[in-house]
Amino acid sequence: MTIQITVIGLGQLGTSIGLALAARENIRRIGHDREPAVMKQAKLLKAFDETPYNLPASVEKADVVILCLPLDQVEETLKYIAADLREDAVVLDISPLKRVVAGWFEKHIPPRRHYIGLVPAINPLMLTENERGIQAARADLFEKATIGIAAPADARPEAVKLAEDLVRLLGGEPLFLDLLEADGLITTAHLLPQLVSAALLNATVGQPGWQETRRFAGRAYAQATGSLGEDPLPALKQALLLNPQMTTHALDLMIGALTHLRNAVREGNETDLERRLRLAYDDQSTWRKERHQAQWQRDDAQKVEYENPFRRLFTGSRPAKS
Protein backbone atom coordinates (compact mmCIF):
# COMPACT_ATOMS: atom_id res chain seq x y z
CA MET A 1 0.00 0.00 0.00
CA THR A 2 1.40 3.37 -1.04
CA ILE A 3 1.20 6.26 1.42
CA GLN A 4 1.13 9.83 0.16
CA ILE A 5 3.10 12.33 2.21
CA THR A 6 2.64 15.98 1.27
CA VAL A 7 5.14 18.54 2.50
CA ILE A 8 4.07 22.20 2.43
CA GLY A 9 6.99 24.59 2.68
CA LEU A 10 10.16 23.53 0.88
CA GLY A 11 12.91 25.19 2.86
CA GLN A 12 15.76 23.31 4.47
CA LEU A 13 13.58 21.13 6.68
CA GLY A 14 10.78 20.45 4.21
CA THR A 15 13.08 19.55 1.34
CA SER A 16 15.29 17.45 3.62
CA ILE A 17 12.21 15.40 4.56
CA GLY A 18 11.63 14.70 0.88
CA LEU A 19 15.27 13.74 0.33
CA ALA A 20 15.33 11.50 3.41
CA LEU A 21 12.29 9.57 2.16
CA ALA A 22 13.58 9.17 -1.39
CA ALA A 23 14.82 5.62 -0.91
CA ARG A 24 11.75 4.45 0.99
CA GLU A 25 9.38 2.14 -0.80
CA ASN A 26 5.63 2.70 -0.97
CA ILE A 27 5.84 6.42 -0.21
CA ARG A 28 4.64 8.99 -2.71
CA ARG A 29 6.25 12.35 -1.97
CA ILE A 30 4.38 15.52 -2.89
CA GLY A 31 5.95 18.92 -2.30
CA HIS A 32 4.40 22.38 -2.44
CA ASP A 33 5.72 25.87 -1.85
CA ARG A 34 4.21 29.29 -2.47
CA GLU A 35 7.34 30.18 -4.49
CA PRO A 36 7.40 28.50 -7.93
CA ALA A 37 11.19 28.87 -8.14
CA VAL A 38 11.58 26.90 -4.91
CA MET A 39 9.35 24.10 -6.21
CA LYS A 40 11.40 23.99 -9.40
CA GLN A 41 14.59 23.65 -7.39
CA ALA A 42 13.07 20.91 -5.22
CA LYS A 43 12.13 19.02 -8.35
CA LEU A 44 15.67 19.34 -9.70
CA LEU A 45 16.96 17.91 -6.42
CA LYS A 46 14.56 14.96 -6.86
CA ALA A 47 13.28 15.60 -3.35
CA PHE A 48 9.68 14.92 -4.42
CA ASP A 49 7.87 12.80 -6.94
CA GLU A 50 5.55 15.69 -7.80
CA THR A 51 5.40 19.41 -7.02
CA PRO A 52 1.90 20.61 -7.95
CA TYR A 53 1.30 24.35 -8.13
CA ASN A 54 -2.22 23.90 -6.79
CA LEU A 55 -2.23 23.58 -2.99
CA PRO A 56 -5.61 21.81 -2.61
CA ALA A 57 -4.54 19.27 -5.22
CA SER A 58 -1.39 18.66 -3.19
CA VAL A 59 -3.31 17.55 -0.11
CA GLU A 60 -6.57 16.01 -1.34
CA LYS A 61 -5.13 12.48 -1.52
CA ALA A 62 -2.56 12.86 1.25
CA ASP A 63 -2.42 10.44 4.15
CA VAL A 64 0.08 12.72 5.89
CA VAL A 65 0.52 16.48 5.51
CA ILE A 66 3.63 18.09 6.99
CA LEU A 67 3.55 21.86 7.44
CA CYS A 68 7.12 23.17 7.28
CA LEU A 69 6.04 26.79 7.42
CA PRO A 70 6.80 29.93 9.43
CA LEU A 71 4.28 30.30 12.23
CA ASP A 72 2.59 33.31 10.64
CA GLN A 73 1.60 31.19 7.61
CA VAL A 74 0.23 28.17 9.48
CA GLU A 75 -3.31 29.30 10.33
CA GLU A 76 -3.88 30.69 6.84
CA THR A 77 -2.73 27.40 5.33
CA LEU A 78 -4.94 25.32 7.61
CA LYS A 79 -7.95 27.36 6.55
CA TYR A 80 -7.03 26.94 2.90
CA ILE A 81 -6.62 23.16 2.96
CA ALA A 82 -9.41 22.37 5.45
CA ALA A 83 -12.01 21.37 2.87
CA ASP A 84 -9.56 19.19 0.94
CA LEU A 85 -8.12 17.06 3.73
CA ARG A 86 -9.39 13.51 3.53
CA GLU A 87 -10.80 11.73 6.58
CA ASP A 88 -8.16 10.25 8.88
CA ALA A 89 -5.43 12.42 7.36
CA VAL A 90 -2.69 13.29 9.85
CA VAL A 91 -1.34 16.84 9.84
CA LEU A 92 2.10 17.42 11.33
CA ASP A 93 3.75 20.80 11.83
CA ILE A 94 7.18 22.05 12.87
CA SER A 95 6.28 25.57 14.04
CA PRO A 96 7.38 26.74 17.52
CA LEU A 97 3.97 26.92 19.26
CA LYS A 98 2.20 23.59 19.52
CA ARG A 99 -0.68 24.65 21.77
CA VAL A 100 -1.55 27.55 19.48
CA VAL A 101 -1.42 25.45 16.32
CA ALA A 102 -3.47 22.69 17.96
CA GLY A 103 -6.10 25.33 18.71
CA TRP A 104 -6.10 26.57 15.13
CA PHE A 105 -6.41 23.00 13.92
CA GLU A 106 -9.42 22.33 16.14
CA LYS A 107 -11.02 25.60 15.04
CA HIS A 108 -10.61 25.26 11.29
CA ILE A 109 -10.25 21.56 10.41
CA PRO A 110 -13.27 19.23 10.17
CA PRO A 111 -13.56 16.27 12.56
CA ARG A 112 -11.84 12.95 11.87
CA ARG A 113 -8.57 14.60 10.86
CA HIS A 114 -5.68 14.50 13.31
CA TYR A 115 -2.99 16.93 14.47
CA ILE A 116 0.44 16.01 15.83
CA GLY A 117 3.19 18.55 16.49
CA LEU A 118 6.83 17.85 15.67
CA VAL A 119 9.80 19.45 17.42
CA PRO A 120 12.69 18.92 15.00
CA ALA A 121 16.38 18.92 15.79
CA ILE A 122 19.12 18.45 13.23
CA ASN A 123 22.14 16.23 12.72
CA PRO A 124 24.87 17.35 15.17
CA LEU A 125 27.39 17.48 12.33
CA MET A 126 25.47 20.44 10.91
CA LEU A 127 25.09 22.54 14.05
CA THR A 128 27.72 25.04 12.97
CA GLU A 129 26.49 25.43 9.40
CA ASN A 130 24.85 28.80 8.77
CA GLU A 131 23.29 28.21 5.37
CA ARG A 132 19.49 28.21 5.33
CA GLY A 133 16.76 27.51 2.82
CA ILE A 134 16.42 24.82 0.21
CA GLN A 135 20.08 25.06 -0.72
CA ALA A 136 20.91 23.72 2.76
CA ALA A 137 18.65 20.65 2.43
CA ARG A 138 20.28 17.25 3.01
CA ALA A 139 19.01 13.70 3.14
CA ASP A 140 20.82 13.10 6.44
CA LEU A 141 19.67 16.30 8.15
CA PHE A 142 17.76 14.41 10.85
CA GLU A 143 20.17 11.55 11.51
CA LYS A 144 21.32 11.27 15.15
CA ALA A 145 18.76 13.95 15.99
CA THR A 146 15.95 13.85 18.52
CA ILE A 147 12.56 14.79 17.09
CA GLY A 148 9.84 15.56 19.58
CA ILE A 149 6.33 14.23 19.04
CA ALA A 150 3.81 16.50 20.75
CA ALA A 151 0.31 15.09 20.66
CA PRO A 152 -2.91 16.57 22.06
CA ALA A 153 -4.38 14.64 24.96
CA ASP A 154 -7.15 13.22 22.76
CA ALA A 155 -4.90 12.24 19.86
CA ARG A 156 -5.63 8.87 18.29
CA PRO A 157 -2.92 6.28 19.02
CA GLU A 158 -2.75 5.44 15.32
CA ALA A 159 -1.84 9.04 14.48
CA VAL A 160 0.86 9.12 17.16
CA LYS A 161 2.29 5.81 15.90
CA LEU A 162 2.36 7.15 12.36
CA ALA A 163 4.33 10.19 13.54
CA GLU A 164 6.75 7.92 15.40
CA ASP A 165 7.28 5.74 12.33
CA LEU A 166 7.92 8.82 10.19
CA VAL A 167 10.52 10.16 12.63
CA ARG A 168 12.39 6.86 12.48
CA LEU A 169 12.22 6.81 8.67
CA LEU A 170 13.87 10.23 8.67
CA GLY A 171 16.73 8.87 10.77
CA GLY A 172 15.66 10.59 13.99
CA GLU A 173 14.94 9.37 17.50
CA PRO A 174 11.40 10.14 18.75
CA LEU A 175 10.80 11.77 22.11
CA PHE A 176 7.20 12.02 23.30
CA LEU A 177 6.13 15.37 24.75
CA ASP A 178 2.92 17.05 25.76
CA LEU A 179 2.05 20.33 24.06
CA LEU A 180 3.01 22.49 27.04
CA GLU A 181 6.37 20.77 27.44
CA ALA A 182 7.10 21.14 23.73
CA ASP A 183 6.40 24.87 23.84
CA GLY A 184 8.72 25.28 26.81
CA LEU A 185 11.58 23.41 25.16
CA ILE A 186 11.22 25.38 21.94
CA THR A 187 11.13 28.69 23.81
CA THR A 188 14.44 27.91 25.51
CA ALA A 189 16.28 26.23 22.66
CA HIS A 190 14.95 28.11 19.63
CA LEU A 191 13.30 31.42 20.50
CA LEU A 192 15.53 32.66 23.33
CA PRO A 193 18.77 32.48 21.27
CA GLN A 194 17.15 34.68 18.63
CA LEU A 195 16.12 37.20 21.29
CA VAL A 196 19.65 37.23 22.71
CA SER A 197 20.99 37.90 19.22
CA ALA A 198 18.52 40.73 18.76
CA ALA A 199 19.45 42.22 22.14
CA LEU A 200 23.16 42.13 21.34
CA LEU A 201 22.55 43.93 18.07
CA ASN A 202 20.27 46.49 19.74
CA ALA A 203 22.92 47.08 22.42
CA THR A 204 25.82 47.60 20.02
CA VAL A 205 24.78 48.85 16.59
CA GLY A 206 24.41 52.61 16.55
CA GLN A 207 26.11 53.13 19.89
CA PRO A 208 29.02 55.60 20.17
CA GLY A 209 32.03 54.06 18.49
CA TRP A 210 30.04 51.64 16.32
CA GLN A 211 31.41 53.16 13.12
CA GLU A 212 34.82 51.83 14.16
CA THR A 213 33.65 48.80 16.15
CA ARG A 214 31.86 47.27 13.16
CA ARG A 215 35.20 46.90 11.38
CA PHE A 216 36.49 44.64 14.14
CA ALA A 217 33.34 42.64 14.86
CA GLY A 218 34.53 39.16 13.99
CA ARG A 219 33.79 35.51 14.56
CA ALA A 220 32.50 35.91 18.12
CA TYR A 221 30.10 38.67 17.09
CA ALA A 222 28.96 36.81 13.99
CA GLN A 223 28.29 33.63 15.95
CA ALA A 224 26.55 35.45 18.80
CA THR A 225 24.17 37.22 16.41
CA GLY A 226 23.86 34.38 13.90
CA SER A 227 20.71 32.79 15.28
CA LEU A 228 18.63 35.84 14.36
CA GLY A 229 16.84 34.88 11.16
CA GLU A 230 16.11 31.27 12.05
CA ASP A 231 12.52 32.48 11.89
CA PRO A 232 11.43 35.33 9.59
CA LEU A 233 10.64 38.50 11.53
CA PRO A 234 6.80 38.22 11.28
CA ALA A 235 6.90 34.60 12.46
CA LEU A 236 9.29 35.32 15.33
CA LYS A 237 7.22 38.26 16.51
CA GLN A 238 4.04 36.17 16.45
CA ALA A 239 5.67 33.28 18.31
CA LEU A 240 6.80 35.62 21.09
CA LEU A 241 3.52 37.49 21.46
CA LEU A 242 1.35 34.36 21.41
CA ASN A 243 3.42 32.78 24.18
CA PRO A 244 4.08 35.70 26.56
CA GLN A 245 4.38 33.75 29.81
CA MET A 246 7.10 31.37 28.62
CA THR A 247 8.87 34.11 26.67
CA THR A 248 9.06 36.49 29.61
CA HIS A 249 10.16 33.67 31.93
CA ALA A 250 13.02 32.79 29.58
CA LEU A 251 14.00 36.44 29.27
CA ASP A 252 13.91 36.87 33.05
CA LEU A 253 16.34 33.98 33.47
CA MET A 254 18.65 35.44 30.82
CA ILE A 255 18.52 38.91 32.36
CA GLY A 256 19.20 37.37 35.78
CA ALA A 257 22.26 35.54 34.48
CA LEU A 258 23.61 38.72 32.87
CA THR A 259 22.93 40.67 36.05
CA HIS A 260 25.00 38.27 38.14
CA LEU A 261 27.89 38.50 35.66
CA ARG A 262 27.65 42.29 35.72
CA ASN A 263 27.63 42.35 39.51
CA ALA A 264 30.67 40.09 39.73
CA VAL A 265 32.60 42.37 37.37
CA ARG A 266 31.44 45.60 39.03
CA GLU A 267 32.30 44.34 42.50
CA GLY A 268 35.62 42.85 41.41
CA ASN A 269 34.50 39.45 42.66
CA GLU A 270 37.04 37.31 40.85
CA THR A 271 35.94 34.09 42.53
CA ASP A 272 32.29 34.46 41.55
CA LEU A 273 33.12 35.57 38.02
CA GLU A 274 35.49 32.66 37.44
CA ARG A 275 32.96 30.19 38.87
CA ARG A 276 30.22 31.40 36.54
CA LEU A 277 32.45 31.50 33.48
CA ARG A 278 33.96 28.09 34.27
CA LEU A 279 30.48 26.63 34.62
CA ALA A 280 29.57 28.03 31.20
CA TYR A 281 32.75 26.66 29.58
CA ASP A 282 32.16 23.23 31.11
CA ASP A 283 28.48 23.15 30.23
CA GLN A 284 29.13 24.10 26.63
CA SER A 285 31.72 21.34 26.31
CA THR A 286 29.41 18.79 27.92
CA TRP A 287 26.46 19.76 25.75
CA ARG A 288 28.48 19.54 22.53
CA LYS A 289 29.80 16.12 23.49
CA GLU A 290 26.35 14.84 24.43
CA ARG A 291 24.80 16.30 21.29
CA HIS A 292 27.33 14.58 19.02
CA GLN A 293 27.15 11.26 20.83
CA ALA A 294 23.34 11.38 20.99
CA GLN A 295 23.27 8.94 23.89
CA TRP A 296 20.81 10.73 26.09
CA GLN A 297 19.96 9.89 29.68
CA ARG A 298 16.72 11.80 29.94
CA ASP A 299 15.73 10.67 33.41
CA ASP A 300 18.99 11.92 34.95
CA ALA A 301 18.69 15.21 33.09
CA GLN A 302 15.17 15.74 34.41
CA LYS A 303 16.26 15.11 38.01
CA VAL A 304 18.88 17.83 37.72
CA GLU A 305 16.56 20.27 35.97
CA TYR A 306 13.71 20.08 38.44
CA GLU A 307 15.61 19.58 41.69
CA ASN A 308 16.45 23.27 42.09
CA PRO A 309 16.07 25.29 38.88
CA PHE A 310 17.31 28.56 40.42
CA ARG A 311 20.44 27.35 42.18
CA ARG A 312 22.63 27.79 39.11
CA LEU A 313 21.34 31.29 38.54
CA PHE A 314 22.04 32.61 42.02
CA THR A 315 25.16 30.67 43.00
CA GLY A 316 26.80 29.80 39.68
CA SER A 317 27.01 26.14 40.72
CA ARG A 318 25.34 22.95 39.59
CA PRO A 319 22.63 21.16 41.54
CA ALA A 320 23.76 17.74 42.69
CA LYS A 321 22.27 14.75 40.91
CA SER A 322 20.00 12.57 42.98
Q: How far is CA 266 from CA 259, 276, 312, in A?
A: 10, 14, 20
Q: Tell me which architecture the domain covering 3-177 has in CATH.
A: 3-Layer(aba) Sandwich (3.40)
107 phi, psi to nearest 5 deg: -75, -40
pLDDT in tens, 121-133: 999 999 888 889 9
Q: What's the pLDDT at 278? A: 98
Q: What's the pLDDT at 191? A: 98
- Taking residues 80-98, what's their average pLDDT? 97
Q: What's the pLDDT at 319? A: 54
DSSP output for 209-235: THHHHHHH--HHHHHHHTTTTSS-HHH
Which pTM was predicted? 0.90
Decide if pLDDT at 318 tops 90.
Answer: no
**Contact residues for 10 (Cβ-Cβ < 8 A; gap 6+):** 18, 31, 32, 33, 38, 39, 41, 42, 47, 51, 68, 134
Decide if pLDDT at 309 tops 60.
Answer: no
To the nearest whole percent, how much of the chain has pLDDT over 90?
Answer: 88
Q: What's the pLDDT at 129? A: 86
Q: What's the pLDDT at 1? A: 84
Closest CA to 94 of 204, 200, 223, 182: 182
pLDDT in tens, 42-79: 999 999 999 999 999 999 999 999 999 999 999 999 99
Decide if pLDDT at 134 tops 80.
Answer: yes
- Per-residue confidence at 41, pLDDT binned at 50, 70, 90? very high
Decide if pLDDT at 145 tops 90.
Answer: yes
pLDDT in tens, 229-283: 999 999 999 999 999 999 999 999 999 999 999 999 999 999 999 999 999 999 9
- Per-residue confidence at 317, pLDDT binned at 50, 70, 90? low
- Taking residues 194-214, what's their average pLDDT? 96
Listed as own residue / partner, the contacts of 44-49 with beta carbons closer than 8 Å and 24 or more positions apart are 45/15, 45/18, 45/19, 45/134, 45/137, 46/19, 46/22, 47/10, 47/15, 47/18, 47/19, 47/22, 47/137, 48/7, 48/18
pLDDT in tens, 23-36: 898 999 999 999 99
Q: What's the pLDDT at 316? A: 60
Q: What's the pLDDT at 131? A: 87
Please check whether residue 120 is in contact with residue 142, taking contact to mean a CB–CB distance below 8 angstroms: yes
The topology (CATH level 3) of 182-315 is 6-phosphogluconate dehydrogenase C-terminal fold (1.10.3660)
Show me where the domains of the chain are located. Answer: 3-177, 182-315
Q: What's the pLDDT at 294? A: 87
The answer to whether 3-177 and 182-315 have equal CATH topology is no
